[in-house]
Amino acid sequence: MSELEPLQYETGTSIRDYDIINIKQTPLGYEVLLNINLDSGYSLTKTTLDITHEDLTGYETNNIEEAIKWALGFFEQPLDESVTSEQELQ
């Protein structure tokens, strides 16, 4: 963000989908270039996502594309799951 005073913001919009343009291995992990489409109709083009080897370990995978999904918040859940996230918090 900018050099201005930090502000509190409400949570923004969700990611609708994304396209991986390039994945480059670095000494610390991977640098991923992607285009991200948001539910609001806006898009983020040529966005860089850095995923470290430590991140891969935390996601319990060696597959960088799987780690990208996790980093962007795409978690696989069964479609017939009867418990909502709100119910889990109570």
Task: Identify which of 80, 60, 78, 79 has the alpha carbon closest to the alpha carbon of residue 70.
Answer: 60
Residue 62 corresponds to which tokens in the numbers above?
């060696």
d(CA 14, CA 58): 23
DSSP string, 21-83: EEEEEETTEEEEEEEEEETTS-EEEEEEEEEEHHHHHHTT-S-HHHHHHHHTT-----TT--S
Find all residues with CB under 8 Å of 5, minimum gap 6, and list them. none
Q: Which pTM does this prediction carry?
A: 0.71
pLDDT of residue 54: 97
pLDDT of residue 62: 94
Domain boundaries of the chain, sorted by first residue: 15-73
Residue 6: pLDDT band (50, 70, 90) is low
